[in-house]
A = this chain, B = another copy of it.
Amino acid sequence: MDITFNNDPKLNIVLPVLYLAWQDNTLTKKEFDTLNEFINKQEWITKAEKEFLKSKINLTSPPSRSEFYHWKERIDRALNEHKKPQNLTELGLLIANADRPAFTDDDIKKIAPSFAAMESELGIMSREVISGFQSQKNTLTDKHNTVESFDVKKLTSLLDGSQAAIINKVKELIATPEFAFETSTDIMVYRERVLEWSKILAEHGLGSYAYPKEHGGKDDIEGYFSIMETLSYHDLSLVIKFGVQFGLWGMSILSLGTEKHYAKYLKSVGTLELPGGFAMTETHHGSNVKGVQTTATYNHKDRTFTIHTPEKYARKEYIGNAANHGEMVTVFAKLVIDEKDYGVNAFIVPIRSKDKNVLEGVTIEDCGHKMGLNGVDNGIITFDKVVIPYENMLDRFAQVNEKGEFESPIPSDNRRFFTMLGTLVGGRIGIPRSALAAAKTGITIAIKYGNKRRQFGPEGGSEVPILNYRMHQQRLMPYLANAYAIHFGLQYLTKRFINRTENEMQEIEALAAGMKSYSSWNTRNTLQECREACGGKGYLSENRIDDLKNDTEIYTTFEGDNTVLMQLTAKNRLGEFRKQFGEMNVSSIFSYVLDQAKTSITEKNPFATRNTDEQHLKDRSFHLNAFLYREKEIVSSGARRFKKLVDDGLDAFDAANVMHPHMLQIADAYLDRVFLEQFQNQLDLVNDTGVKEVLIRLYNLFALNKIEQHKAWYLEQGYMEGVKTKAVRKLVSQLCWEIRQDAVPLVDAFNIPENCLGAIVTNKAAEA
C-alpha cells in the first residue's frame, strides 16, 4: 500500500504546516531546511514515511492544485468540529486523530517539543494563522457601520443658528439648473459663466447685504459672510468673484471712502452694474504691501491726481475682475505732493469704459491660466500717468486740503496704513469661512465614499467598507472634528467682529489673521487627505475634489500669506504678554515664576504627568490647562528668547529672523486654545442629549488629537510622560473608531446641496 495521507493518518499531523508553507509564502530555502531537518529528526515515523513527507516539500514538485484543496478541506473540517486549537500541532493532531486515535497522550508529550521548536523556527504565529484559516464572516471590522444616534436636523439648525434663512436661500439658488457646474476647460467660457452667476446673485439682492440700507443694502455684514460661506459649497471661482466685487471693491469704498463715495458708487456696485476690483498687490510687493511703489501725484493746478506705475514690477498684479470685466479699481498708491511722499493711500481709478474698452494710459495683461479659480479674470494693470479727479481719493483717513496740504487724523504713515488695512479685516473672516465650507464638502465626499466603497475583507467574508479600517478612520475623523471646531471658532470670530469696539480692534485683527491661516491650512490638509482617501475617484474632476483643492490652494496665500499672517498674530500675543510682564523685571518675574510654580504643583506632579485614566483624559479642564500651559509657556519663552538675542548683541531684524519659527508656534498655540475654548462653550449651550453626546465625542477627538500632535513638546517640557502620551494616542484611535459610526450623520448635518458633492456621492448606482 502506497504511503499517502489517507492511508497513513498519523502523517496528517504535519498537514497544517505544509499547507501554510505552500499557501502564504514562497517555500524559501530556510523554510525547506527547517522542515527537512524536522522530518529527519522525527523518530515516530519510518524512513519511507520520511521520504513521503519530504516529497511534499520538494521545491521542484509542489503539491498539485487538487491535493492542496484537499488539505484545506481537512483543515476546515477539523476547525468546524472542534474548539479552537492553540497551535498548528494541535490542529494537526485533530486531523490525524479524526477517524481513530493515531497518537496517544504519551506520544504527544514526546513529540510536542520538536513540533513547537519547528513552528517557532518558521516564525509561525499559531493563533493568528489558525484564526486566518477559519472563515470569518462576522468580524468586528465587518460589523461596524453607521448608526444615527442623534437628530441630524437639530444639529444642522445648531450650526446655522440665526443665519438659517439666508443660508437656505443661497442653497436653494445654487441647486437650481442655472447653477449647473461649468465643465468647459476654456477659461473665457468659464469666466463668462461666473459673471452670469454673479449677476443672478446680485439680482436676488445678495451682493449688497453688507452695505448701508440707504445705499441699497441690508446693513447685514453677518448675512454677507453667511452668503459667501454657503456659496462656497458650490463653485469657488464664483465665491472669489463675488468677494472681489462685493467685498474687496465695495468694502474698500465703504471702509476707506466717505459719504460722497457711498452715494456715487455703492448702489451700482451692489447690483453689479459697476464691476470693479481691488488693486493693492504689486509684482514686487505682495506681503510687504507697505512698500508699494505706484504713485498718486497731486496736481495743484486742477486738483487732480496722476496715477503712475514708476517701473515694470510696480504694476498691480493678480487683480481679480481686471482681465475682463472690471471698470474701476481701488488703487493703493503712495501719495506725492510737491515731491514729498505721504505714504500709501487709496484712489478710485477707472480702467474700462462701459463698453469694456480699456481706457487710455491703462494697460491690462491677463494673468493667464492658474492652478485653480480659472473662472476669475485676474489681471496685471500698469498705469501710464492716468489722471483722476480730486474726488476719487478715498478720503476717510487722509485728505488733501484746499491749500494742497496733506491732512490726516493719524500722523504716522505706518499707523494710518495699518488702520486702513484694519478696516478691511472682513476679508480675513470671509476667506477662512469659505475655506471651511470647502473642507466640509471634501470631508463629506470622502466619508460618504468611504462608507460605501468596499475593499478587502476577512478570509471567506465579503469585502468591508473602507471607512471601517482604523487607518482610514484616523485619516479622516480628525478632520471631521476640526471642521466642527473651526466652525464654532469662526462663528465666534464673526460675532467678535460684528460687536467690536475700537479698543478690541487690534486683538480681532490678530485673531482674524490667525484664523484665516489656521482654517486655510486645515482645508489644504483636509482636501489632500480626502483626495487620497478617495483614490482614483478622487482624481477625476467630476468628483469635485480637484476643483475644491486647486481653488482653495491659493487661500493660504491671498488675503495675506499665512506664514506672514501668523507672525502678525504672534506679534500681537507677544505684545500682550509684554504689557502684562514688561521686561521681566524683578516683580514681574516673581509673579511669573509663581504662576509657573502653581502649574508645577497642580499639573506637573508625577501623578498628573502619568495619569492615563480615561476620565481624566476626557476632562475638559485637563485639556484647557494643557492648551493654556502650552500657549503661556511658548509666548513667555519667546519673549525671554527674543530679549536674550537682542541683549547678546544681535540686531533686532536678525533676532526677529531667528524667532520666526518660534513666532509661528506662538500663534498656533494661541489659536488652538481659542478654538478649544469655543468648542467647550458650545457644548454648554446644547440641550439636546443626542446632539450633545456626539459633539462631546467630536470635541474630545479635537482636543486629544491636538495634544497628540504636540506631544513632543509636552514630553520635552515634562508636562506629560510617555505613558500618558501613549494613552492619548490610544484614546484618539478609539474615538476615531467610535465616531466612524456617527460620521455619515455628522456630514449630513452640514446639509450641503447634493449637486455639490460630485458623481461618486450622487450616483446612487455606484453603491457597492
Q: Which of B540, B653, B766, B768 contacts A367 (CB 8 A)?
A: B540
Stretch at the interface among A149-157, A244-252, A278-286: A278-286
CB nearest to A576 among chain B residues? B123
Residues on the B chain within 8 Å of A558, using CB? 536
Whether B660 pairs with A120 at a CB distance below 8 angstroms is no
Within 8 A of B (CB), among A713-755: 715-718, 722, 725-726, 733
Whether B183 pairs with A654 at a CB distance below 8 angstroms is no
Whether B716 pairs with A726 at a CB distance below 8 angstroms is yes
Within 8 A of B (CB), among A516-542: 524, 528, 531-532, 535-536, 538-542
Q: Within the assembled complex, what's the spacing in Å between the Cα atoms of A585 and B116?
A: 9
Does any Cβ of B come within 8 Å of A368's Cβ? yes
Q: Which of B368, B471, B646, B653 contacts A125 (CB 8 A)?
A: B646
Whether B187 pairs with A539 at a CB distance below 8 angstroms is no
Residues on the B chain within 8 Å of A369, using CB? 183, 185, 540-542, 546
Whether B120 pairs with A583 at a CB distance below 8 angstroms is yes
Whether B124 pairs with A583 at a CB distance below 8 angstroms is yes
Q: Which of B283, B461, B578 contacts A123 (CB 8 A)?
A: B578
Residues on the B chain within 8 Å of A29, using CB? 503
Whether B455 pairs with A288 at a CB distance below 8 angstroms is yes
Does any Cβ of B come within 8 Å of A404's Cβ? no
CB nearest to A658 among chain B residues? B470
Whether B540 pairs with A285 at a CB distance below 8 angstroms is no
Asked if A415 meets B23 with Cβ closer than 8 Å, knowing A409-B62, A470-B657, the reply is yes
Whether A412 pairs with B712 at a CB distance below 8 angstroms is no
Q: Which of B503, B539, B658 contacts A554 (CB 8 A)?
A: B539
CB nearest to A318 among chain B residues? B536
Q: Which of B68, B411, B549 contacts A411 (CB 8 A)?
A: B68
Whether A579 pairs with B768 at a CB distance below 8 angstroms is no
Residues on the B chain within 8 Å of A183, using CB? 369
Stretch at the interface among A91-99, A136-144, A434-442: A136-144
Q: Which of B408, B535, B651, B661 contacts A471 (CB 8 A)?
A: B661
Q: Within the assembled complex, what's the spacing in Å between the Cα atoms of A318 and B537?
A: 9
A616 to chain B, nearest CB (A): 18
Whether B455 pairs with A127 at a CB distance below 8 angstroms is no
Q: Within the assembled complex, what's the spacing in Å between the Cα atoms of A606 and B558?
A: 49
CB nearest to A708 among chain B residues? B712
Does any Cβ of B come within 8 Å of A255's Cβ? no
Whether A128 pairs with B642 at a CB distance below 8 angstroms is yes
Q: Within the assembled complex, what's the spacing in Å between the Cα atoms of A129 and B123?
A: 68
Q: Within the assembled complex, what's the spacing in Å between the Cα atoms of A636 and B372?
A: 46
A interface, size bucket: 35 or more
A91 to chain B, nearest CB (A): 14
Asked if A579 meets B123 with Cβ closer than 8 Å, knowing A369-B183, A549-B371, A716-B715, the reply is yes
Within 8 A of B (CB), among A185-214: 185-187
Within 8 A of B (CB), among A370-413: 370-372, 406, 408-412
Q: Within the assembled complex, what's the spacing in Å between the Cα atoms of A365 and B33?
A: 53
Does any Cβ of B come within 8 Å of A599's Cβ? no
Copies in the complex: 2
Residues on the B chain within 8 Å of A281, using CB? 536
Does any Cβ of B come within 8 Å of A63's Cβ? yes
A367 to chain B, nearest CB (A): 6
Interface of A is mostly: helix
Residues on the B chain within 8 Å of A65, using CB? 406, 408, 411
Residues on the B chain within 8 Å of A371, using CB? 531, 539-541, 545-546, 549-550
Does any Cβ of B come within 8 Å of A686's Cβ? no
Q: Within the assembled complex, what's the spacing in Å between the Cα atoms of A575 and B409?
A: 75
Q: Within the assembled complex, what's the spacing in Å between the Cα atoms of A579 and B124?
A: 8
Q: Within the assembled complex, what's the spacing in Å between the Cα atoms of A318 and B536?
A: 8
Whether A546 pairs with B370 at a CB distance below 8 angstroms is yes
Does any Cβ of B come within 8 Å of A557's Cβ? yes
Whether B579 pairs with A368 at a CB distance below 8 angstroms is no
Whether A458 pairs with B287 at a CB distance below 8 angstroms is no
Whether B503 pairs with A28 at a CB distance below 8 angstroms is yes
Q: Within the assembled complex, what's the spacing in Å between the Cα atoms of A116 and B459?
A: 77
Q: Which of B64, B313, B588, B653 contacts A458 (CB 8 A)?
A: B653
Does any Cβ of B come within 8 Å of A132's Cβ? yes
Does any Cβ of B come within 8 Å of A131's Cβ? yes
A142 to chain B, nearest CB (A): 8
Whether A651 pairs with B412 at a CB distance below 8 angstroms is no
Does any Cβ of B come within 8 Å of A52's Cβ? no
Whether B539 pairs with A557 at a CB distance below 8 angstroms is yes
Asked if A410 meets B62 with Cβ closer than 8 Å, knowing A23-B415, A139-B651, A540-B367, the reply is yes
Whether A664 pairs with B471 at a CB distance below 8 angstroms is yes
Q: Which of B22, B141, B650 contacts A412 (CB 8 A)?
A: B22
Interface 1/0 per residue, A538-575 and B, CB below 8 Å: 11111001100110011011100111000000000001
Residues on the B chain within 8 Å of A140, using CB? 650-651, 654, 657
Does any Cβ of B come within 8 Å of A711's Cβ? yes
Q: Within the assembled complex, what's the spacing in Å between the Cα atoms of A557 and B718?
A: 40
Within 8 A of B (CB), among A14-42: 22-26, 28-30
Does any Cβ of B come within 8 Å of A414's Cβ? yes
Q: Within the assembled complex, what's the spacing in Å between the Cα atoms of A712 and B719?
A: 13
Q: Within the assembled complex, what's the spacing in Å between the Cα atoms of A284 and B655?
A: 57
Q: Which of B24, B123, B536 contacts A583 (CB 8 A)?
A: B123
CB nearest to A577 among chain B residues? B123
Does any Cβ of B come within 8 Å of A647's Cβ? yes
Q: Which of B461, B553, B711, B712 contacts A531 (CB 8 A)?
A: B553
Asked if A646 meets B127 with Cβ closer than 8 Å, knowing A140-B654, A463-B288, the reply is yes
Whether A657 pairs with B469 at a CB distance below 8 angstroms is yes
Q: Within the assembled complex, what's the spacing in Å between the Cα atoms of A64 and B405?
A: 12
Q: Within the assembled complex, what's the spacing in Å between the Cα atoms of A470 and B121?
A: 53
Within 8 A of B (CB), among A437-485: 454-459, 461, 463, 468-471, 474-475
Residues on the B chain within 8 Å of A718, using CB? 722
Whether B646 pairs with A131 at a CB distance below 8 angstroms is yes
Whether A660 pairs with B123 at a CB distance below 8 angstroms is no
8 additional A-B pairs beyond A23-B414, A128-B652, A716-B726, beta carbons within 8 Å, are A120-B582, A128-B643, A131-B653, A367-B540, A368-B542, A535-B557, A538-B557, A715-B716
A-B contact pairs, 11 of them (CB 8 A): A125-B642, A128-B655, A140-B657, A185-B186, A291-B463, A312-B765, A370-B539, A532-B561, A535-B561, A539-B554, A661-B733
Which 8 A-B pairs give the minimum distances between C-beta atoms?
A: A123-B578, A120-B582, A716-B722, A712-B712, A131-B652, A471-B660, A458-B653, A715-B715
